[in-house]
Amino acid sequence: MNQAINDPSSPSALPPIAQVPALWTFAALTAGLLGGLALAFAAPQALPAVLGVVEPVGDLWLRALKATIVPLVAALLFTGIVQTVATAQAGAMARRSLGAFLAFLAFSAAMPMVVTPALLALLPIPGGAGSALRTSLAGSAPVTGAVPGIGEFLRSIVPTNVIDAAANDRMLPMILFMAVFALASTRIARPQREMLATFFAALASAMLVVIGWVLALAPLGVFALSLSVAAKSGTSAIGALAHYVVIVVLTGSVVFLAGYAIAVLIARKPLMGFARAVLPAQTLGLSTQSSLASLPAMLGACRTLGLRETTAEFVLPLAVALFRATSPAMNLAVVIYVAHWYGVPLAPALIVSGWAMAILVSLSSVSLPGTISFVASVGPIAIAMGVPVEPLALLVAVEVLPDLMRTLGNVTMDVAITAVIDRAAGTGGDEEPR
């Protein structure tokens, strides 16, 4: 069932990605901010010469990062959908699990549309920070132009030329085409199906190697970007980044708390009993920042809750492979935050684009490291909603902090959803998982 995770020979298996530790990138961000502030206050006469060197470095790294988004997402989406369809054919419990995953992902993608703007209204971006950062980052001009009507929007999602759509960063039509193409590939002869699956798996693997190389330079790129930002915007940069972390983490905490609500209201587990059972898995998740590493502890939580071993051993690995409960919510929160930051209006058609994109992309970020998942998941949503992607190169440096909430929410929701499916299997007479 989770061959893509456990079997490196599987066509959909992804290679291990060598990465610079996230703390190094965070340290580069800190050093860049402090260095930029020191230059601005202590040696302003040196700024033109320094910025003449660091700004091209940051811009080149940003361009390399953006260049990986389209091919990486297309390949991962194909392999993710093929794996999802194969899973759905494994029996009633697999179909019920996928139904539960998709239902919650739809909620997770819809929730930040309400919660994040409300948080921004309650806790607005510190005065001057937004405008200061806009003027110090590339691509600072907000997207302008007429807001598309519903008819124009519907026509735009069916591309007449998918290559042209990808080349012009029209992500929603490209991703919908790839989704239909992947579904169609599951209906052709097995040798041809396996050939396509192998091709896209190889493309995904190669792109992951490329993005691994780009992210290996993250400390250098982030240092250059943050030094330039701090030199131009001063202490506003630090306040804006701290504010961003708070807003995104608070949005993700709604998913975390929803895990408890689902366990109590749908799975009918006592609140304190569920909280005690899941605590060891949450602790391990926070220490490792990995749902996969927390899998043994999550299995232990299911045993403590009295769930069937056959259910837990089937559903939990599937959830770790395909179900990123916090991803749609927190990825959309990032995009909405940047849109608010840059003054980009989000029309209903763009909101629908973001909602659909967040759900589809969450299925394509299987078992990716945190920084790669951030780039591959948030970038397409931002492009689809007409929001600048340039700030993502700086925000990825502080992802180490929101990523703690991502892991905490995912671990909690994985156990809660497993409890729901176990209860449904007990009352519905499901077949044993194969």
pLDDT, position 10: 44
Q: Which long-range contacts (CB under 8 A, 24 or more apart) does 342-347 make?
A: 342/130, 342/134, 342/140, 342/142, 342/387, 342/388, 342/391, 343/142, 344/142, 344/143, 344/385, 344/386, 344/387, 344/388, 345/147, 346/385, 347/147, 347/148
- The per-residue pLDDT for 136 is 58
pLDDT, residue 409, reads: 92
Both tokens assigned to 67:
């260049």
Summarize the confidence of residues 377-390 as an average pLDDT. Answer: 84
Residue 425's pLDDT is 78
Q: How confident is the model at residue 157 (pLDDT cuts 50, 70, 90)?
A: low
What integer pLDDT is reported at residue 203 of this predicted model? Answer: 86
Angle at 321 between CA 315 and CA 325, to 5 degrees: 85
Q: Give the least confident one: 75-79, 159-163, 203-207, 247-251.
A: 159-163
The closest of 210, 212, 204 to 72, measured between CA atoms, is 204
Q: Return the pLDDT at 248.
A: 94
- Report pLDDT digits (tens) over 235-279: 777 778 888 999 999 999 999 999 999 999 999 999 999 999 999
State which amino acid sits at residue 346.
Answer: L
Q: How far apart are CA 350 and CA 382, in angstroms?
A: 10
For residue 264, the model assigns a pLDDT of 93
pLDDT higher than 50, residue 174: yes
Report H helices in 234-369. 236-265, 271-288, 295-304, 309-322, 327-342, 348-362
pLDDT over threshold 50, residue 229:
yes
**Nearest partner of 371 among 257, 203, 219, judged by Cα:** 219
Among 288, 402, 393, CA closest to 28: 393
Number of other CB atoms surrounding residue 8 within 10 Å: 11
* Cβ neighbours of 276 (radius 10 Å): 13
pLDDT in tens, 116-151: 999 999 988 776 666 666 665 654 444 444 445 555
Q: Which two tokens stand for residue 293?
A: 């590493």
Cβ proximity of 370 and 23 under 8 Å: no
pLDDT score of 412 more than 60: yes
pLDDT at 237: 73
Structural domains of the chain, with CATH:
18-428 (1.10.3860)
Q: Which SS3 state, helix, strand or coil, does residue 131 take?
A: helix
Average pLDDT over residues 52-57: 82
80-104 pLDDT, tens per residue? 788 777 776 667 777 888 888 889 9
pLDDT, residue 186, reads: 85
DSSP state of 431: P
* Distance separating alpha carbons of residues 4 and 2, to the nearest angstrom: 5
Under 8 Å between Cβ of 14 and 205: yes
State how far the Cα of 417 lies from the Cα of 400, in Å rounded to an integer. 26
Are 379 and 365 spatial neighbours (Cβ–Cβ below 8 Å)? no
* pLDDT of 78 higher than 60: yes
Rg of the Cα atoms in the chain: 22
- Tell me which of 115-119, 373-377, 428-432 is least confident: 428-432
